[in-house]
Amino acid sequence: MRILGIETSCDETSAAVVEETGNPAAPWAMRSNVVASQVAIHAEWGGVVPELASRQHLRDICAVVDRALIDAGSTWGDLGAIAVTQGPGLVGSLLVGVSFAKAAAAAANLPLVAVHHLAGHIESLVLQNGELPLPAVVLVVSGGHTSLYLVEHPGSYQLLSRTRDDAAGEAYDKVAKLLGLGYPGGPVLDRLARTGNDRAIALPTTRLTHADRNAPELKGDLDFSFSGLKTAVLRHMRGRAADTALTAGEIADIAASFQRVVVSALIERLFDAARRYGAKSVGVAGGVSANSRLRADLKERGERREIPTFLPSLALSTDNAAMIAAAGLRKLRAGHTASFELNADAALALG
Ligand code: KG4
Ligand code: ZN
């Protein structure tokens, strides 16, 4: 069975075809994965402009889906279902994908599957590596989320913790903006950090110990907080004696110091959770999982703790429809389809 996946939750219009392999250990095979990025459009404004994003999705969606079918050597006739991101995300952007998927499912007489965007990121790990040894602890770290999930059974997700304020990717984007490096900030800060001294400036690490009043069901001590970092970088910049612009060396040092603090907070909490819940594997997914230091530190820590670690390929780290298609197949197998009443949900919860 082949499924068409559609993803339009933020600023990439994506469509992909994924097929079941029949192999329980590596259940999904990617036939195509087309991503039309809107980065060039939003870079001009220093961040994603929701109104521009939804209009661009509308312009791109038909051609992106056509290309995904052609690349896969598929026609509408050989698809078994259509999966689409229902949320969370920008509501205008989500609505383009959801409306397209409903119309296509009705026209082609195919079942429709609604997918949670973060379930998609988690499934990118399985698409890339095959089924993870369970229970697994997975960190989903992107521009909108920094959340730890416990996966005890395939397709079940228990939220263990999340950020109290900014997401890690959002912190990258905000610090890059402060440093005048443009949007999106993650890839450029990552590149600059490689040439800097990661101990050059002292930035605070926030370790939360108390429960969150807004989420009493979570213990809270595995939560993240990144908003103080951005303020600390700003304070450092203002506190410089010199009245001149930052030199390239100073920017690299700030990038490296910032990256060290963010990555160690992510890795510490992830492995704390893995120990607490007796995880047999750990994974990191979402846009920030493309980060070079996070990838290297994850591998190194996993080897030291003798616990297998999993990452998506770089192409499957950032938003894409292949992960949505794979998560859609998992839901379809479990018997979950959506009706044509399906609506986008900007704040959809998982777990
Ligand atoms: O998952 P994603 O494509 O979209 C969301 O669902 O948010 O993640 C985008 C985020 C952005 O904040 C971007 O700056 C960050 O991922 N990102 C990175 C890197 N590549 C992308 N952050 C750090 N290092 C990177 N190499
Ligand atoms: Zn994402």
Residue segments in the chain with a per-residue pLDDT below the cut of 70: 242
Which of 37, 146, 288, 311 best tests ligand 1's pocket when mutated (most atoms within 8 Å of CB)? 288
134 Cα: distance to centroid of ligand 1 (angstroms): 26
Which numbered ligand comes closest to the C-alpha of 187? 1
Contacts of 8 (CB under 8 A, 6+ apart): 14, 57, 61, 85, 89, 93, 94, 96, 97, 100
According to the model, what pLDDT value does residue 293 have?
98
Which numbered ligand comes closest to the C-alpha of 226? 1
Burial class (CB in 10 A: 0-12, 13-18, 19+), 25: exposed
Q: Whose CA is nearest to atom 19 of ligand 1?
A: 186
Is 110:81 a contact under the CB 8 Å cutoff?
yes
Three-state DSSP state, 332: helix
Is 303:58 a contact under the CB 8 Å cutoff?
no
Distance of CA 97 to the CA centre of its chain: 18
Q: What is the DSSP string of 98-153?
A: HHHHHHHHHHHT--EEEEEHHHHHHHHHHHHH-SPPSSEEEEEESSS-EEEEEESS
Q: Whose CA is nearest to atom 26 of ligand 1?
A: 291
10 Cα: distance to centroid of ligand 2 (angstroms): 8
186 Cα: distance to centroid of ligand 1 (angstroms): 6
Distance of CA 13 to the CA centre of its chain: 15
2-7 sheet: strands from edge to edge: 28-37, 12-20, 2-7, 81-87, 112-116
Number of the ligand 1 atom closest to the C-alpha atom of 292:
26
143 Cα: distance to centroid of ligand 1 (angstroms): 5
Parallel/antiparallel/unpaired status of strands 146-151 and 309-310: unpaired
Q: Which H helix or E strand runs over 24?
A: none
What whole-number distance in Å separates Cα of residue 7 and Cα of residue 281?
27
Is 186:173 a contact under the CB 8 Å cutoff?
yes
Q: Whose CA is nearest to atom 10 of ligand 1?
A: 143
229 Cα: distance to centroid of ligand 1 (angstroms): 17
List, for residues 70-114, the tens digit of each pLDDT value: 999 999 999 999 999 999 999 999 999 999 999 999 999 999 999
In Å, how far are 54, 67, 68, 83, 185 from 298, measured between CA atoms?
35, 35, 32, 31, 21
167 Cα: distance to centroid of ligand 2 (angstroms): 11
What whole-number distance in Å separates Cα of residue 217 and Cα of residue 232?
31
Number of the ligand 1 atom closest to the C-alpha atom of 184:
14
Cis, peptide link before residue 135, omega less than 30° from 0: yes
319 Cα: distance to centroid of ligand 2 (angstroms): 5
According to the model, what pLDDT value does residue 12 have?
96
Q: What residues flank ligand 1, with Cβ below 6 Å?
A: 10, 142-144, 169, 172-173, 184-187, 190, 286-288, 290-291, 318-319
Which of 190, 297, 318, 324 best tests ligand 1's pocket when mutated (most atoms within 8 Å of CB)? 318
List, for residues 259-316, the tens digit of each pLDDT value: 999 999 999 999 999 999 999 999 999 999 999 999 999 999 999 999 999 999 999 9
- The residues with which 282 forms a beta bridge, in sequence order, are 137, 309
According to the model, what pLDDT value does residue 211 have?
81
Distance of CA 110 to the CA centre of its chain: 28
Number of the ligand 1 atom closest to the C-alpha atom of 12:
3
341 Cα: distance to centroid of ligand 1 (angstroms): 32
In Å, how far are 220, 243, 250, 280 from 247, measured between CA atoms?
39, 12, 5, 45
According to the model, what pLDDT value does residue 205 have?
82
Instruction: Show the tokens assigned to 166.
Output: 């900014």
Three-state DSSP state, 251: helix
